[in-house]
Structure 1
Amino acid sequence: MYRNASFVKASSSNAFQHQDDTKQDPTPPPPYLEYIPVYGEWERKRYPNWPDARFQMPATKEHAGQVYYLRKGDLVGFGTTALVERLHSGNAIVKTPLRNPLDPTEERMNREAVAREAEDAQSCTLTLEHQSNGDLAIYFRDNAAASGVDLETRGKWATQAARALASLHDKEVIHADVAPRNFLLNSSLDLCICDFAGSIFPGGPEKTSAPGSRYQAGPWGRGYVPTKADDLFALGSVLYLIMTGNEPYIDLTDTEVERHFQAAEFPETSCIPYGSVIDDCWHGRLTTAHTVVQALNGEMGVSTAENRP
């Protein structure tokens, strides 16, 4: 059997055991998902001498959670609801909902999440323009040039992030996962928002994800339904990253950050660009994404005037 590298997703935190533990405990391990790519027809030109077997789905599986899928392009990564591949042309990204033979309900919800983004209930994949500079989190973490990004560009990103959120809120969509990983940069270093798998749409289900402790005013308990205010709070933390290159409280653990945020204790912003806007997002003084855009534009005007010769 021919295989490319597989991706394993455990259905339980105890899905993997050391060999010695397995010998001591004869109980079979809990089921897990294993995603195994099969080379697509488009790759025959790349590998003309390979046998047909490398381009065909295996007839049998080794365990119930094994999922074979035909590659549509080069793997970018796995999300909560979909796998993401870059087409061979290099200018487009394809999202395919994750199959889950161990949980048909989750598989159905994965398909619905991708279909919502495509605005097509019959769609089984979603094709998007490739954003060549990746997401904000990776850009600041891995790109040596990120530290030299000028204030004008940072201001542009901040405004584009706020405008993107305003556009969603105008349509009564709550993103519910506003974080640097969900803002992408194209070849011109323009920013756009992405990943609506956990978003709340009018009349849609309220199954959401969470952006993480640095992007939440407090923990979201079971059954919590995020609001526009939660998106705006998270936007403040995204703006903080854009202006400083670091997440809020970068040196603290998630638990420590959660404790500070619940007590409304936020990083000092008075000495960073657009600091007052960030602080207003965190304290809820800016109640709509449009007011954030206006505040950013106001600060930008002040900054431009101060730097004018």
Structure 2
Amino acid sequence: MPPASSVRARIEQIDRRNVISAGSTGLIEHLPCGNVRKCVYSDRDYEVCLRDLEREFRVYQKLPQHDRLLQLIRYSPEEGLVLQYMPRGNLRDHLPKAASAATAITLHERLQWACDAAESLHLLHSHGIIHSDLKPENFLLDSNSRLKIIDFSGSSFDGIVGSAIESTRFFLPRPLKEPPTVRTDLFALGSTISEIMTSRPPYDDLSDDEVEARYSQQIFPSVQELPCGQLIMDCWRCEVQTAEEAMKRLKAELESALAASDPASSCRSSPPTTRP
């Protein structure tokens, strides 16, 4: 690892006018070349942030190239993590804007996003990675309005428990010291799909304390009238065993919706998303 002083000096050269986002680990800078750079903060928890950034790089190394992932350009502790840029931003910001736009979000779009979210999670789990902070904010939209999952700096893998924890409405009730698991990711997937279908986080009208109390008593928002409502509830009740199961159920719903709107569409198949 290079000296901390050299990394800090490089970070301090960032043009703050190009910073487009910030998170727990560091800043996201839009580079002149068109990519983005994720680099650690120079003035707080430096060693911890650098460790988490290195962990995110290791996750990208473990995963194959895939349509549900950003392209990793390069990484070094001095420069940070350079990734493909998605100018349309994240799904959480997009949902309310699109819902209030002149052209409403279609059911097909919502189902496709739900499929993409489950497919992303299945990709991670099939390579032994627990995301640990699944939510619409951690999905970016590409130019074809498809999702790419991001932010692995706090993920768990290879027996290493990451630093991330789900936010309240995506958190499976458990002791805080209990590590994240496939089940906790699937619970968060249920809340993610709920937000995709409603354009609002679950229980967005309640305080965090009220949400925690209801979740602890297995009291969840009504989803009977929502597309994929049964799957959402099954995720919350820990009755979905794998992300692959969720993905298959969602794809079946998507195919049914396509067939209902265009019978010929059910004969068309999507191309594979994993590339060698």
TM-score (norm 2): 0.78
Q: Distance in 1 between matches of 2:35 and 2:144?
A: 16
What is the CA-CA distance between 1:145 and the residue it aligns to?
Answer: 3.0
Q: Which residue among 26, 36, 51 is the counterpart of 1:93?
A: 36
Q: Which residue among 244, 252, 271 is the counterpart of 1:298?
A: 252
> Is structure 2 residue 19 aligned with structure 1 residue 75?
yes
Q: Distance in 1 between matches of 2:129 and 2:256?
A: 32
Match of 1:237 in 2: 191
Match of 1:109 in 2: 51
Q: Is the 8 A contact 1:99 1:107 kept in 2?
A: no
Distance 1:103 1:183, change over 3 A: closer
Distance 1:121 1:304, change over 3 A: closer
- Gapped runs of 5+ residues in structure 1? 1-56, 58-66
**What is the DSSP-based 3-state SS (H/G/I as helix, E as strand, rest coil) of the residue aligned with 1:70?**
coil
CA RMSD of aligned residues (A): 2.6
- Which residues in structure 2 correspond to 1:1-309 (within 5 Å)? 68-71=12-15, 74-89=18-33, 91-100=34-43, 103=45, 105-117=47-59, 119=61, 122-124=76-78, 125-143=80-98, 144-145=100-101, 148-203=104-159, 205-218=160-173, 220-221=175-176, 223-307=177-261
**What is the DSSP-based 3-state SS (H/G/I as helix, E as strand, rest coil) of the residue aligned with 1:241?**
helix
What is the CA-CA distance between 1:188 and the residue it aligns to?
Answer: 1.7
* Runs of 4+ that moved beyond 6 A: none
Which structure's residues are more often helix, by fraction? Answer: 2
What is the CA-CA distance between 1:73 and the residue it aligns to?
Answer: 7.2
- Which protein is bigger by CA-based radius of gyration? 1
Distance 1:118 1:291, change over 3 A: closer
Distance 1:299 1:107, change over 3 A: closer
Q: Distance in 1 between matches of 2:207 and 2:182?
A: 26
What is the CA-CA distance between 1:174 and the residue it aligns to?
Answer: 0.2
Q: Distance in 2 between matches of 1:211 and 1:146?
A: 33
Q: Is the 8 A contact 1:75 1:86 kept in 2?
A: yes
Q: Distance in 1 between matches of 2:103 and 2:59?
A: 33
- AA at the equivalent of 1:288: T
Q: Distance in 1 between matches of 2:258 and 2:143?
A: 26
What is the CA-CA distance between 1:152 and the residue it aligns to?
Answer: 0.8
What is the CA-CA distance between 1:105 and the residue it aligns to?
Answer: 3.9
What is the CA-CA distance between 1:75 and the residue it aligns to?
Answer: 0.4
Q: Distance in 1 between matches of 2:46 and 2:16?
A: 23
Q: Which has the higher contact order (CA 8 A, sep 6+)?
A: 2
What is the CA-CA distance between 1:250 and the residue it aligns to?
Answer: 1.4
Q: Is the 8 A contact 2:56 2:154 kept in 1?
A: no
| Cα deviation code 1:113-166 (max 9, x no counterpart) | 344245388544111111121111111234443971101111111101100100
What is the CA-CA distance between 1:80 and the residue it aligns to?
Answer: 1.0
**What is the DSSP-based 3-state SS (H/G/I as helix, E as strand, rest coil) of the residue aligned with 1:148?**
coil
Count of aligned residue pairs for this structure pair: 241
Q: Is the 8 A contact 1:72 1:87 kept in 2?
A: no
**What is the DSSP-based 3-state SS (H/G/I as helix, E as strand, rest coil) of the residue aligned with 2:230?**
helix
What is the CA-CA distance between 1:298 and the residue it aligns to?
Answer: 2.2
- AA at the equivalent of 1:236: G
- AA at the equivalent of 2:214: H
Q: Percent identity?
A: 32
Q: Which moved more, 1:188-197 or 1:297-306?
A: 297-306
Q: Is the 8 A contact 1:84 1:95 kept in 2?
A: yes
